Structures are given as C-alpha cells and as structure tokens.
Amino acid sequence: MIDALTIVQVAVAIIAGLLCLVLGLAGRKPSDLTLGATALVEVLLIVQLVVSIVSPAVGNDPTGDALEFGLYLGSAILLPVGAGFWALIDRSKWATVILGVANLAIAVMVYRMHQIWFVQGG
C-alpha cells in the first residue's frame, strides 16, 4: 500500500460520495457525472488491489493482518459494481443517493485499510 495514493483515494471517494449525495437529494437522476465519479472510485480500488498484491514482493509488508485487509478491499470493490448496476436499473434520484452512500462507505473502508496496513501490528 502506498501512503499518498491511499490518502488521495479516500479524498476522491469522499468528494464523489458527497457529490452524488447532494445531486441525488437535489433530484438528479444518475448521470455520466455521478456514475463517472463512482467509476473513478472503482478504478482507484483496482489500482489499490494491484499495488497491495505487488507491495509485499518489494518489501512493503502490511503491519496488520493481510486477510483482514483483503476482506475490506474485496468488499469495497464490490460496492461500486452493486450500486452502479442499481443506478442503471433504477433511474431515479434515489439511485444517485445510493451511489453517494456507497462511495462514502468506501471512503471509510479505505481509511480502515490504511490503518490495517500502516498503523497496526507490534
């Protein structure tokens, strides 16, 4: 895991989450903007997956438990997919709100993954 990348990722997820939440509550249906923001969050999660697979090989081991880390990452990767499908099927403003909720949940999970990787152990 790379510290700076992860911080950017949390920030992006929070911004995307708030954006979707605000636009959704304002009555907007899922749009290229909100779905695109969610897709960006998903792409960053995939990047994170690759990084976390490669990291231990180059001597960057997690301080916490790799299994716990993997469970968080796996769950997080599923969220945009689920919320995205929901948005494609249910084209109402609530689908946009749901995109926001999923993105914010991911922000929390990535933050937690950061703790597991860097802060725990010993």
Partner 1 sequence: MTASTSPPEQSSSAGIGRVLVVVYAILALAATGRSFYQIVSEFDEAPVAYSLSALAAVVYILATIALVAPGETWRRVALATIGFELVGVLVVGTMSLVVPELFAHASVWSWFGAGYLFIPLVLPVLGLLYLRRRRPVVTAQRPSERVTGA
# of chain residues touching partner 1 (CB under 8 A): 25
Please tell me whether residue 68 binds partner 1 under the rule CB under 8 A: yes
Q: Which of 55, 71, 111, 118 binds partner 1 (CB under 8 A)?
A: 71
> Checking phi first, is residue 65 left (phi over 0); if not, alpha (psi -120 to 50) or beta?
beta
- Stretch of 5-13, 41-49, 50-58, 86-94 contacting partner 1, by CB under 8 A: 86-94
- Stretch of 12-20, 33-41, 54-62, 105-113 contacting partner 1, by CB under 8 A: 105-113
- In 3-state terms, what secondary structure has residue 120? coil
How many CB atoms within 10 Å of residue 117? Answer: 23
